[in-house]
Structure 1
Amino acid sequence: MKIGILGSGLMGGTLGTLWAAAGHDVTFAYSRSPAKLDRLARDCGGAAGTVAEAVEGADALLLAVHWSRVGDVLGQAGDLAGQVVLNCCVPLDEDNRDLVVGTTSSGAEELARMRPKARWVSCFNTTPSESFAPVFAARGQITAPHVFTYGDDAGAKQIAGGLIRDIGFEPLDAGGLRNGRYVEPFAMATVELAYVQPGGPALTYRFEKLRG
């Protein structure tokens, strides 16, 4: 599968690298440092390019930028008509402290308003990036942790689910984009658990329904 990574920080860099290791054709785009894109591409056998080049012909895109940069990257990406876009952004302020969208809307819904022709599905935004490599390394040896997915396009969710499993996680369907109003604040709880409380940031979670 051809995947365009829009954002080269911890989320985009790590997921793109692991998808390349899983056999996907990955193109990294959007960074203040072209050298960083080149390094990511070189280290995993992928490619580096512009946002337009990453979008062209992609089977799926990952949007992995700070909320303050969303408008800029989408401006370079075009209308994204028919494109499957995995969104791992949380709508945080510049200090990464408070949500700037919530209660009556969500980051996921705002993105869908910005690019209504795209096939949006949110995922990975409540899971610390530090957990990705350990889970990937332990694929098949541990019970797969969950990753919330939410979106209104069943086909996009299916594609996202396959990519989530490639990393070693299991997708957990949390409903439609509207449910981002409840899922995105949960990301702040995982920040507390991963980065504030002791034990390190490689946090995972799994929900189980008890039967009988």
Structure 2
Amino acid sequence: MKIGILGSGLMGGKLGALWAASGHDVTFAYARSASKLERLARESGGQSGTIADAVDEADALLLAVHWSRVGDVLEHAGDLAGKVVLNCCVPLDEANRDLVVGTTSSGGEELARMRPKACWVSCFNTTPSESFAPVFARKGQEPAPQVFTYGDDAGAKEIAGQLIRDIGFEPLDTGGLRNGRYVEPFAMATVELAYVQPGGPALTYRFTKLRG
């Protein structure tokens, strides 16, 4: 699969590298410096390019930037018509402390309003990036940790599910984009568990329904 990574931070860099290690054709785009993109491409065996390069041929895109940069990325990305876009952004303020969208809307819904022709699915935004490498190293071991996914496009969810499994997680469908109003605040709970409480940031989770 051809995957365009729009964002070169911890989320985009780590997921892009692991997808490249899984055999996908990955293009890294959008960074403060071209040298960072080139390094990511060189270290992962992928390639670097412009946002247009990443979007044009992609079977799927990952939007992985700070919420304050979303508008700039989308402006360069065009209308994204028919493109499957995985969103791992949480709509946080500049201090990364408070949600700037919530209760009556969600980041996922706002993105869909900005680019209504795209096929949006949100995932990985409640999972610390520090967990990606150890989960990938244990891929195939059961039970797999879960990743929340939410979106209104069944095809986009299916593609996201494939890519989530490639990392070693299992997708957990939490409904449509509207449910991002409740999923995105959960990211703040995972921040507390991963970065504030003891034990290290490589946090994973798995929900189980008890029977009997």
Same fold (TM over 0.5): yes
Structure 2 residue 170 is matched with structure 1 residue 170: yes
| Count of paired positions | 212
User: Counterpart amino acid of 2:207?
Assistant: F
In 1, the alpha carbon distance for the partners of 2:95 and 2:61 equals 26
Q: Structure 2: which 5+ runs fail to align? A: none
Following TM superposition, the consecutive aligned residue runs of length 4 or more in structure 1 with deviations greater than 4 angstroms are none
Alignment of 1:17-32 (within 5 A): 17-32=17-32
Alignment of 1:108-119 (within 5 A): 108-119=108-119
Alignment of 1:170-209 (within 5 A): 170-209=170-209
TM-score (normalizing by structure 1) = 0.99
In 2, the alpha carbon distance for the partners of 1:144 and 1:9 equals 25
User: Counterpart amino acid of 1:56?
Assistant: D
For residues 98-139 of structure 1, give each alpha carbon's deviation from its aligned partner in whole angstroms, at most 9, with x where no partner exists. Answer: 000000000000000000000000000000000000000011
In 2, the alpha carbon distance for the partners of 1:20 and 1:67 equals 25
- What percent identity do the matched residue pairs reach? 86
Task: State the Cα RMSD in Å.
Answer: 0.5
TM-score (normalizing by structure 2) = 0.99
In 1, the alpha carbon distance for the partners of 2:50 and 2:57 equals 13
In 2, the alpha carbon distance for the partners of 1:152 and 1:141 equals 30
Partner of 2:144: 144
Q: Structure 1: which 5+ runs fail to align? A: none
Partner of 2:42: 42
Alignment of 1:9-158 (within 5 A): 9-158=9-158
In 2, the alpha carbon distance for the partners of 1:124 and 1:159 equals 14
CA-CA distance at 1:57 after TM superposition: 1.2
